[in-house]
Amino acid sequence: MRFTQLFVPTLRDAPKDAEMVSHKLLLRGGFIRPLSSGVYSYLPLGLRVLNKISRILREEMERVGGAEMLMPSLFPKELLEESGRDKVDVLFTVKPQDYFLGFTHEEVITDIVRKDIQSYKQLPLLPYQIQTKFRNEPRPRGGLVRCREFLMLDAYSFDKDEAGNQLAYRNMKEAFGRMFTRCGLDSLSVEADSGAIGGSQSEEFMVLSADGEDTVLRCGKTGYAANAERCEAVPAPAEASDTVVPASESISTPGTSSIEAVSAFLGIPTTRLIKTLVFNAPDGQPVVVLVRGDRELNDAKLAKLLGGPSSLADAATVLRVTGAPLGFAGPVGLQVPVRMIADREVETVRDGVVGANTADTHLVHVQPGRDFPHPEYLDLRTAVAGDISPVDPEGRLETQRGIEVGHVFNFGTKYSKSMGATFSDENGATQLMLGGSYGVGVSRTMAAAIEQRHDDNGILWPISIAPFEVVIVLVWPKDDMQRQAAEDLYHELSVAGVDVLLDDREERPGVKFKEADLLGIPVKVVVGKGLAEGTLEVSLRRSSDQKEAVAAVEAASYVSELVSGLRAEVSL
């Protein structure tokens, strides 16, 4: 490809609203352009990267027996009513017809197989597609990281028995690992919450990056890793103490409606405070939730426990349930019989402080089980760095930030049950199919690669997903000798199967060099003044200060070999 035939509108500076490195560099390099919040066009270079990622994904899907297909983006409303996902908050609806825009395709594929699969002989199946998804994300972010319209690979497995179902999950997990390695990403699989899709077994592939939205907890001792949404929070051991906790007592704490304010006012550490929160559960009933003052309640864990997302109760409900104005609710002396649950650590609080269910008042010297009935103790808080590892009492958790690039779910019979996807087994008995779904954010992977590989001058694409493998910078296109040498090399490399870009623009050399760095093409060949001595200058983008003068006659084979070496680094 020749630069003069491409459309690469580079920018000197990134727009101010771009915060993540990948967002800035994708805009500056002319890879993408926004149309509206979270909605992007892929310009020629961006599309080349997407296509290269997609190709790797297709090859790995084929290796595990995936069959590519393409499903529609318009979903009739009734389809999602069957599974109960018509209320999912990220759904876009289409007017004037009653359609949703496709956000993931479990229902569509299940509808196909329930109609077309009758016998165990037709199973297993592993259909997949690479297709645009639509989600009304409340906060699109980071360019391609969180979009309202994005490209996803989604695969679905259907099996006749648990052994097959497990095998499909394992195969897909391995396939995803290979995909990300081949895309040049350092990724890690972590235990995950299964969210809106539901189901039991679920892992995410994370690209570790300081700007990632997800928190990953890892135990260095065992290698255990989990998303913070999911990671079990092991209670800190209770402090041993022989002293008897005095009788509880109410104390005036005017204006102290936050944990920090109460702690400061009383001079008691937040670890001895118990937060009391009132939620409206999905069934409409209020639920009282207790967590230690210094801990964060984990919404995903609460949602899993209560069977769906809950919202914080309004002031009137809090008053009705506890008798307290907002900020002073506590578990002692509730007004109505109500379900009370607590994080396990609450049980270990000694000599605690709780809201007194009266304005500007707290109770001190409170003991769970003595001053109020023991609630149900459950894992409800978010794990943090320093916590005991859930798999090894000697291990400690560390936190890192990550970008989720892929997700594997085993949902068992969730969709086959709600939508009636059955088959007849070897004995003629009707059985529910077992299934899983597997998604890779193709466009997000493009951004994640940049988050992991860039420097002050621009992108450092892994060769497997770079828009081009080699760029030939023709310094003076008007110089016949230079032009001829560049054209010759361009042809020889193309014939050798190297993906090469010839920068044949009439631009200042400085601009061309700067842009070659910005665009991140792994190998650069400069055809310039060295040609007088019969040499071209070859360098790698990742170590651009190491320049090699190579005889023009040998340049094609030299560069081909360099490219082969780089390809080998990201192949399996």
Residues of the shown chain interacting with ligand ATP in the complex, contacts defined by CB under 6 A: 104, 135, 137, 146-147, 150, 152, 195, 404-407, 439, 441, 443-444
CA-wise closest residue to 168 among 359, 436, 357: 436
Q: CB of 329: closest distance to ligand ATP in angstroms?
A: 31
Q: CB of 135: closest distance to ligand ATP in angstroms?
A: 5
Q: CB of 325: closest distance to ligand ATP in angstroms?
A: 36
Rounded CA-CA distance 188/24 in Å is: 25
Pick between residue 135 and residue 541 the one whose CB is nearest to ligand ATP. 135
Residue 535 contact, options Mg ion, ligand ATP, none, Cβ 5-8 Å cut-off depending on partner type: none
CA-wise closest residue to 90 among 131, 32, 150: 150
Residue 533 CB burial class (10 angstroms; 0-12, 13-18, ≥19): exposed
Binding mask 382-421 for Mg ion (x = CB under 5 A): -------------------------x--------------
Residue 146 contact, options ligand ATP, Mg ion, none, Cβ 5-8 Å cut-off depending on partner type: ligand ATP
CA-wise closest residue to 379 among 313, 305, 307, 280: 305
* Bridge partners of residue 392, in order along the sequence: 389
Q: 3-state class of 532 per DSSP?
A: helix
Residue 126 contact, options Mg ion, ligand ATP, none, Cβ 5-8 Å cut-off depending on partner type: none
**Which residues, 9 to 28, sit near Mg ion by CB under 5 A?**
none
Pick between residue 141 and residue 483 the one whose CB is nearest to ligand ATP. 141
Rounded CA-CA distance 165/108 in Å is: 19
Q: CB of 439: closest distance to ligand ATP in angstroms?
A: 3
Q: CB of 21: closest distance to ligand ATP in angstroms?
A: 17
Q: CB of 152: closest distance to Mg ion in angstroms?
A: 10
Residue 152 contact, options Mg ion, ligand ATP, none, Cβ 5-8 Å cut-off depending on partner type: ligand ATP
Residue written as tokens 């919450």? Answer: 193
Q: What token pair was written down for 142? A: 């980071």
Residue written as tokens 């967002």? Answer: 23
Pick between residue 137 and residue 492 the one whose CB is nearest to ligand ATP. 137
Residue pair 438/155 in contact by the 8 Å Cβ criterion? yes
Residue written as tokens 């010839």? Answer: 502
Cβ neighbours for 17, distance < 8 A, ≥ 6 positions apart = none
Which residue has the CB atom at the shortest distance from ligand ATP? 441
Pick between residue 207 and residue 341 the one whose CB is nearest to Mg ion. 207
Residue 137 contact, options Mg ion, ligand ATP, none, Cβ 5-8 Å cut-off depending on partner type: ligand ATP
Q: CB of 110: closest distance to ligand ATP in angstroms?
A: 16
Whether the ω angle into residue 124 lies within 30 degrees of 0, i.e. cis, is yes
Rounded CA-CA distance 165/338 in Å is: 40
Pick between residue 141 and residue 320 the one whose CB is nearest to ligand ATP. 141
Residue pair 80/107 in contact by the 8 Å Cβ criterion? yes
Pick between residue 406 and residue 462 the one whose CB is nearest to ligand ATP. 406
Pick between residue 25 and residue 185 the one whose CB is nearest to ligand ATP. 185
Q: CB of 159: closest distance to Mg ion in angstroms?
A: 22
HSE-CB at 168 with a 13 A cutoff on CA atoms is 31
Q: CB of 98: closest distance to Mg ion in angstroms?
A: 27
DSSP strands (E only) in 331-389: 339-343, 352-355, 361-366, 376-378, 388-389
Residue 316 CB burial class (10 angstroms; 0-12, 13-18, ≥19): exposed
Pick between residue 296 and residue 351 the one whose CB is nearest to ligand ATP. 296
Residue pair 50/446 in contact by the 8 Å Cβ criterion? yes
Which residue has the CB atom at the shortest distance from Mg ion? 407
User: How many residues comprise the chain?
Assistant: 572
Q: What token pair was written down for 340? A: 């009370």
* 133 touches Mg ion (CB under 5 A): no
Q: What token pair was written down for 186? A: 């350092």
Pick between residue 68 and residue 161 the one whose CB is nearest to ligand ATP. 68
Pick between residue 112 and residue 440 the one whose CB is nearest to Mg ion. 440
Rounded CA-CA distance 267/534 in Å is: 79
CA-wise closest residue to 376 among 318, 285, 289: 289
Q: CB of 88: closest distance to ligand ATP in angstroms?
A: 10
Residue 441 contact, options Mg ion, ligand ATP, none, Cβ 5-8 Å cut-off depending on partner type: ligand ATP
* # binding residues, Mg ion (CB under 5 A): 1
Residue 135 contact, options ligand ATP, Mg ion, none, Cβ 5-8 Å cut-off depending on partner type: ligand ATP
Q: CB of 224: closest distance to Mg ion in angstroms?
A: 19
Cβ neighbours for 543, distance < 8 A, ≥ 6 positions apart = none
Pick between residue 28 and residue 407 the one whose CB is nearest to Mg ion. 407
Residue pair 143/447 in contact by the 8 Å Cβ criterion? yes
**Which residues make up the interface to Mg ion (CB under 5 A)?**
407
